[in-house]
Structure 1
Amino acid sequence: MKKVKAAVFASGTGTNFQAIMEKDNLFCEIVLLVCDKPGATVIEKAKGYGVQEFVFLPNSYSSKVEYERELLEKLREKDVEWIFLAGYMRIVGQTLLDAFEHRIVNIHPSMLPKFPGKDAFLQAFQAGVNKTGVTVHFVDTGIDTGPIIAQQEINIYPDDTLETLEERIHRVEHQLYPQVINQLIANEKE
């Protein structure tokens, strides 16, 4: 059976990209990595998996619309049907949202709607709460405001450091995201 084609958008180290690529029996084929940071570690990871990468500098475009039109062209060339954000540190604009309605998914390191935006696990840690978590959600025009697909709670212990908390969050992300991706694609085929 022919697999659905998908792209991963990432800006950093690519640990979630790697978890997706290493998922046994992933129901989609990752055919493109989109990265907005030319020096990001995820680019080398993509090369290691044989995934074509498109790296761009947003500031070299006159507007978000302009670079998203180019991204759209690259996605269409590869017949991409789904976009999975994995540490992509840009707000997705209307150009991509319109073209991939209900087909752009993000993973976020908190129990949304709590602690949206950047540095979510740091926000939770500094707030002194005893629980946080991981959320997978559809992307909309807001910042981490789209419909929630799945969540998993994580305890914050009194002896936790930022590092131990981040490590536990990553472990959950690396299991949850590939599972949700498979679930979304399986549901679509029913």
Structure 2
Amino acid sequence: MKNIVVLISGRGSNLKAIIDAIESGKINAKISLVLSNKKDAKGLEIAKIHGIKAKFVDPAFFASRKGYDIYIAELIRKEEPDLIVLAGYMRILSDEFIEAFEGKIVNIHPSLVPAFQGKKAQKQALDFGSLITGCSVHFVTKELDNGPVIIQAAVPVMPEDTEESLSERILQYEHRIYPQAIKWILEGRVYVEGRKVIVKGAKYGSIPINPSLEDF
């Protein structure tokens, strides 16, 4: 069975979507560890409720981001993960961490990458006046929110939208495309050629989600 480690900072809604996909049998894997850089992250409680080992590691005890990442990398190595999933993890990973798990880290970002990278992507879309935004699952590289894209969902921006309302509508798609991308990766169907990602057997050309969802 494939093994996943999840990094979180907040409420853990994407973590819960992944757990639900595993418990329903859609993803044949286990989450062996959930790590958080925030003590009060609700995702830690979600993990514990589902019998998953959960740990808070305080960045304040480390002199640098690199030192923190070296420490958590050692914790993660002990789990021998097939995939490391960033689910609302609000720290920029050091180059050393990314090199240690190169090609095995994925993230979900609330925009159509490469648009609106970094924090508050939903607010960025509203401030820019975009009529369409969305969410992207991508591999993590040293360039922030700019790794090869696996799947994207397009979400319309409404005239009356606030940051909160737009974020909530995007989140509904996040909960579908993230488990799907994880399933494809763990099934060995995802191939990366430079910046181009191909999911073997997937149906391309669909809207609002491309490639098409199969299980979610």
Question: Under TM normalisation by the shorter chain, which class is it?
Answer: over 0.9
Matches of residues 1-190 of structure 1 in structure 2 within 5 Å?
Answer: 3-23=1-21, 24=24, 25-187=26-188
Q: What is the CA–CA distance in structure 2 between the aligned matches of 1:184 and 1:132, rounded to whole Å?
A: 24
Q: Deviations over 1:80-135 (max 9, x none)?
A: 22100011001111222122111000000000111000000111112111100101
Instruction: Work out the CA distance in 1 between the residues paired with 2:15 and 2:90.
Output: 14
> Which secondary structure does the structure 1 equivalent of 2:35 belong to?
strand
Q: Structure 2: state its 5+ residue gaps.
A: 191-199, 201-216
**Normalized against structure 1, the TM-score is what?**
0.93
| Cα deviation, residue 54, structure 1 | 2.0
Task: Judge which range, 168-177 or 20-29, deviates more.
Answer: 20-29
**Tell me, which stretches of 5 or more residues in structure 1 are unaligned?**
none
Large movers: runs of 4+ above 4 Å: none
CA distance in 1: counterparts of 2:45 and 2:175, whole angstroms: 19
Higher helix proportion:
1
The one-letter amino acid of 1:18's match is K
Tell me the TM-score normalized by structure 2.
0.82
Q: Which has the higher contact order (CA 8 A, sep 6+)?
A: 1
Provide the C-alpha distance between the structure 2 equivalents of 1:188 and 1:50, rounded to a whole number of angstroms.
Answer: 29
Give yes or no for contact 1:36–1:55 (8 Å, CA) kept in 2. yes
**Maintained 8 Å contact 1:81/1:100:** no
Q: Describe the superposition over 1:109-167 as per-residue Cα deviations: whole angstroms up to 9, x where unpaired.
A: 00011100000011111211110010111111121011111111111122323332111
How far, CA to CA, are the matches of 2:73 and 2:182 in structure 1?
Answer: 21
**What secondary structure is seen at the aligned counterpart in 1 of 2:187?**
helix
More deviation, 113-122/161-170: 161-170
Partner Cα separation in structure 2 for residue 129 and residue 154 of structure 1: 11
Deviation at 1:19, TM superposition (A): 0.6
RMSD: 1.6
* Distance of 2:77 and 2:164 partners within structure 1: 39
Which stretch shows the higher mean deviation, 172-181 or 152-161? 152-161
* Equivalent residues, number: 188
Cα distance in 2 for partners of 1:119, 1:161 equals 12
Equivalent pairs: percent with the same residue? 38
Q: C-alpha displacement at 1:188, in angstroms?
A: 5.5
- Helix, strand or coil at the partner of 2:116: coil
Query: Which amino acid counterpart does residue 131 of structure 1 have in structure 2?
Result: I
Q: CA–CA distance in 2 between the matches of 1:45 and 1:70? A: 24
Distance 1:28 1:133 in 2: 27
